[in-house]
Amino acid sequence: MSIELEGRQSVEVVRLHRGDAPLIVSMPHVGTTIPAAIADTMTPIARHVPDTDWHVERLYDMAPDMGATMIEATHSRYVIDLNRDPDNKPLYPGADNTELCPTSTFDLEPIYLPGQEPDQAEISRRIETYWQPYHRAITDEISRLREKHKQVVLWDGHSIRSVVPRFFENQLPDINLGTGNGTSADPELARRVVETAEAANTYTTAFNGRFKGGHITRTYGAPDQGVHTIQLELSQVTYMEETLPFRYLPEKADEAKAVIGRMLTSVTDWLSEA
C-alpha cells in the first residue's frame, strides 16, 4: 500500500500480502525506514533504530503458506508508533510509556536533536501519512475475511530486548502472550496457544503479564463479533544478537520459528472447529 507525499512521490507505507485463511499476522514495529527530512532532526543513535522489532518478518515466513494475511510496517516506530492510541493515551497507566511519536529510546536516550521534537502539526501529519494507512489495512482485511469466515484471528507479532530496565525488572520471559487481560480473544483459543507455548520446555512463558497487548490487540479484539486478537512479544535473545549490528542467528531462530509455527497451528486448529 503506497501513498503520494506532497504530490511528488509514491512511498510504500504498508506491505500487504492477502491470504484466504481467517488469520491475519500484523507486524507494526518491523519497519526501519526514516524519511530524510525526519532523520535530519534525529540523534545519531536514533538513526540506528535500535528499538526495532528486528527480523520478526523472518520468524513468520511460514505464515503465508498457512494462508495467513500479512500486514507489515515499512517505517520505523520512531517516525510513529502504530501500536499506540492516536490520541497518545498511555498504554499502561502508571508505568513508563513511550509516546505515539517517541522522543526517547528504550534506554532513555533522546531521539531528537535539541529543539527538533515534532510539534502537534507534525504529529498530525504522521498520523495521516503512516498511522491511518496501517490501521485501514487492518480494518479492511478483517472485514474482507469476516465475509468469508465465522471467526477471524488477528495475531500481533512483536519482539523486544530481553533486558530493558525502563519497562520491566530482571530478564523478560521468552514468550509473552497477551489478550488484553482476557478481553480480546476467546478463552479456549487463548488456552490452546498458551499451552502450546508452555510445551516448548526450552523457553519461559508469560500470559497477560508485563505485556498484555497494545493498542492493536485491545482495539480490534471483539470476540462477541467473531474477531479475536493475540499479541506475542518475543524476547530477542531467543533468535538474534541484541546489540549492534543486531544479527539474526539462524540456528537459534529456527527453534523460535518452530514454536511460533506451532502456536499459529493451534490458532488455525481452533478456527477450524469454531
Instruction: Identify the pLDDT of residue 2.
Output: 45
**For the whole model, what pTM was predicted?**
0.94
Each as own residue / partner, the long-range contacts of residues 217-221 (CB below 8 Å, 24 or more positions apart, any chain) are 217/154, 217/156, 217/178, 217/179, 217/180, 217/184, 218/180, 218/183, 218/184, 220/138, 220/139, 220/142, 220/154, 220/184, 221/154, 221/179, 221/180, 221/183, 221/184, 221/185
Q: What's the chain's Rg over C-alpha atoms?
A: 18
What are the pLDDT digits (tens) for 90-148? 776 666 678 999 999 999 999 999 999 999 999 999 999 999 999 999 999 999 999 99
The answer, yes or no, to whether residue 160 has pLDDT greater than 50, is: yes
Provide CB contacts within 8 A for 35, sequence distance 6+.
Answer: 11, 75, 79
Instruction: Identify the pLDDT of residue 1.
Output: 57
More confident residue, 245 or 5: 245
Instruction: Identify the pLDDT of residue 10.
Output: 57
The answer, yes or no, to whether residue 9 has pLDDT greater than 80, is: no
Mean predicted confidence (pLDDT) in 47-73: 98
d(CA 14, CA 207): 29
Q: What is the DSSP string of the chain?
A: -EEEETTTEEEE-EEEE--SSSEEEEETT---B--HHHHTTB-HHHHT-TTS-TTHHHHTTTGGGGT-EEEEE-B-TTT--TTS-TT---SSTTS----SS-SB-TTS-BSB-TT-S--HHHHHHHIIIIIHHHHHHHHHHHHHHHTT-S-EEEEEEEEE-S--TTT-SSPPPSEEEESTTTTSS-HHHHHHHHHHHHT-TTS-EEESSS----HHHHHH-BGGGTEEEEEEEEEGGGTB-SSTT--B-HHHHHHHHHHHHHHHHHHHHHHHH-
Find out whether 242 and 236 touch, Cβ atoms under 8 Å.
yes
d(CA 97, CA 274): 36
Instruction: Identify the pLDDT of residue 6.
Output: 44
For the chain, the structural domain boundaries read 2-273
Find out whether 62 and 23 touch, Cβ atoms under 8 Å.
no
What are the pLDDT digits (tens) for 180-230? 999 999 999 999 999 999 999 899 999 999 899 999 999 999 999 999 999
Instruction: Identify the pLDDT of residue 89.
Output: 76
What is the rounded average pLDDT for all residues in the chain? 94
Architecture of domain 2-273 in this structure: 3-Layer(aba) Sandwich (3.40)
What are the pLDDT digits (tens) for 170-182? 999 999 999 999 9
Read off the pLDDT band of 151 (50, 70, 90): very high
More confident residue, 269 or 88: 269
The answer, yes or no, to whether residue 26 has pLDDT greater than 90, is: yes
Mean predicted confidence (pLDDT) in 237-243: 97
Find out whether 1 and 12 touch, Cβ atoms under 8 Å.
yes
